């Protein structure tokens, strides 16, 4: 803050670039194993602008039906044809590519590494094989996997044992494990060079990320590089939480090895009124958890979405889940 002030003050091309911007980009690329990375003021704009400006007429975008709104907005705002495939059904994706690939100039497959409402993980090894077989590009949104998946928190590629170079576009945010605010795209030098100077949402017309935000994320990357104990505790906590939930006969939906764990409510939270009652009762019992219901998720799939951390312990998780079970039971009685 003393060195750079609290604002970049301008777009990076027009004088708003500080040395710390490049330092963060270099450290992100090193952490992920890519050639380069480019930082933006937000993850939403990173997704939307990248897809919009890389794909055009004659192209096809295939996206998972559970993809985040920012990815969908990028698909819609591009001039490419777009098709969705069933959630994490890579066989469905393969069949669509078999039918559609030869009819389009370029094809982009868009997925998330960890899906934010369900906590499940895409099969990256199988996905890379499919995209290579069909000569397609692959974009993976790693907003919820950096600092979470892999032995050292490097994300989905480390978790799956896949080289980062096998993913054409890696997207992430600074606002989750990287403890700040902003977004980034990582990949080849050709990709980041293109985005830097022709895409309006990156360096040309958008102010640079505040230097203080860069410094916060740099500190996290330094911590991850020197000590992976928080990552290991987080992963252990996620396993413990799911095991306790199973013991208490609570439904964790599609959750898989991530610290995003839904507790499915079904009829107990299938309306805004019911969900409001459930979340209010949870908060009164000193458990802070966000309730999600239709239209954010499909009907009959209302849930409490727990976000776990490395700093909690099994006793806290057990108490929270026992309270969850009690509140669900009371909700069914109150709203019978």
Same-domain status, 69 and 155: yes
168: Cβ–Cβ under 8 A, 6 or more apart, which residues?
Answer: 137, 138, 139, 187, 188, 191
Give the C-alpha separation, 120 to 124, whole Å: 12
- What digits encode the pLDDT tens for the residues 256-280? 889 999 999 988 888 899 999 999 9
Same-domain status, 121 and 184: yes
Please state the rounded mean pLDDT for residues 298-312: 93
Asked if the model's pLDDT at residue 203 lies above 80, the reply is: no
The pLDDT value recorded for residue 15 is 77
Same-domain status, 125 and 145: yes
Asked if the model's pLDDT at residue 100 lies above 90, the reply is: yes
Q: Which of 211, 226, 241 is the last residue of a domain?
A: 226
In a domain, 7, yes or no: no
Please state the rounded mean pLDDT for residues 230-238: 96
The pLDDT value recorded for residue 54 is 95
Please state the rounded mean pLDDT for residues 129-134: 98
Residue from 246, 286, 255, 270 nearest 328 by CA: 270
Q: How many domains in the chain?
A: 2
Same-domain status, 213 and 153: yes
Same-domain status, 208 and 173: yes
In a domain, 4, yes or no: no
Asked if the model's pLDDT at residue 335 lies above 90, the reply is: no
- What digits encode the pLDDT tens for the residues 45-83? 999 999 999 999 999 999 999 999 999 999 999 999 999
Same-domain status, 130 and 252: no
In a domain, 172, yes or no: yes
What residues does 137 pair with on adjacent strands?
108
CATH number at residue 325: 3.90.1150.10
Asked if the model's pLDDT at residue 94 lies above 90, the reply is: yes
Please tell me the least confidently modeled range out of 6-20, 105-119, 166-180: 6-20
Same-domain status, 168 and 306: no
Q: Which pTM value belongs to this model?
A: 0.93
Residue from 141, 315, 309, 172 nearest 231 by CA: 309
Same-domain status, 101 and 145: yes
Same-domain status, 59 and 109: yes
Same-domain status, 109 and 173: yes
Asked if the model's pLDDT at residue 232 lies above 90, the reply is: yes
The pLDDT value recorded for residue 262 is 96
Q: Which of 185, 208, 226 is the last residue of a domain?
A: 226
Highest mean pLDDT among 31-35, 264-268, 310-314: 31-35
Q: Which of 204, 226, 248 is the last residue of a domain?
A: 226
In a domain, 6, yes or no: no
3-state SS, residue 40: strand
Query: What b/e readout covers 209-237, taking b as 16+ CB neighbours within 10 angstroms?
Result: bbbebbbbbbebbebbeeebebbeebbeb
Same-domain status, 91 and 208: yes
Domain of residue 293, residue span: 229-334
CATH number at residue 215: 3.40.640.10
Give the C-alpha separation, 181 to 135, whole Å: 34
The pLDDT value recorded for residue 206 is 82
- What pLDDT band is residue 12 in, cutting at 50, 70 and 90? confident
Peptide bond into 295 cis (omega under 30): yes
In a domain, 126, yes or no: yes
Same-domain status, 119 and 268: no
In a domain, 177, yes or no: yes
Cβ atoms of 262 and 250 closer than 8 Å: no
In a domain, 5, yes or no: no
Please state the rounded mean pLDDT for residues 162-175: 97
In a domain, 193, yes or no: yes
Please state the rounded mean pLDDT for residues 201-209: 80
Cβ atoms of 177 and 146 closer than 8 Å: yes
Cβ atoms of 169 and 140 closer than 8 Å: yes
């Amino acid at each position: 803050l003393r060195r750079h002030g609290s604002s970049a003050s301008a777009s990076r091309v027009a004088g708003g670039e500080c040395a710390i911007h490049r330092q963060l980009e270099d450290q992100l690329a090193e952490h992920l194993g890519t050639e380069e990375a480019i930082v933006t003021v937000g993850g939403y704009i990173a997704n939307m602008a990248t897809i919009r400006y890389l794909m055009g007429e004659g192209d096809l975008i295939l996206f998972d039906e559970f993809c985040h709104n920012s990815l969908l907005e990028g698909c819609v705002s591009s001039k490419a044809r777009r098709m969705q495939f069933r959630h994490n059904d890579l066989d469905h994706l393969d069949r669509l590519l078999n039918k559609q690939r030869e009819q389009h100039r370029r094809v982009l497959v868009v997925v998330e590494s960890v899906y934010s409402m369900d906590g499940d993980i895409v099969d990256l090894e199988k996905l890379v094989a499919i995209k290579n077989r069909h000569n397609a590009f692959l974009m993976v949104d790693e907003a919820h996997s950096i600092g979470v998946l892999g032995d050292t928190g490097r994300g989905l590629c480390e978790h799956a044992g896949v080289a980062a170079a096998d993913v054409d576009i890696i997207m992430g945010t600074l606002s989750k494990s990287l403890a700040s605010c902003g977004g980034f795209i990582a990949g080849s030098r050709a990709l980041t060079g293109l985005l830097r100077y022709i895409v309006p949402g990156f360096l040309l017309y958008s102010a640079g990320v505040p230097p203080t935000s860069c410094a916060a994320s740099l500190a996290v990357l330094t911590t991850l590089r020197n000590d992976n104990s928080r990552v290991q505790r987080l992963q252990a906590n996620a396993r413990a939480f799911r095991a306790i939930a199973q013991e208490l006969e609570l439904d964790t939906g599609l959750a898989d090895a991530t610290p995003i764990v839904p507790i499915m409510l079904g009829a107990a939270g299938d309306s805004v009124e019911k969900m409001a009652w459930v979340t209010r009762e949870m908060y009164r019992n000193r458990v802070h958890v966000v309730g999600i219901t239709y239209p954010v998720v499909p009907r009959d799939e209302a849930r409490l979405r727990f976000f776990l951390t490395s700093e909690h312990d099994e006793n806290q998780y057990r108490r929270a889940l026992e309270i969850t079970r009690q509140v669900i039971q009371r909700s069914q009685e109150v709203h019978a």
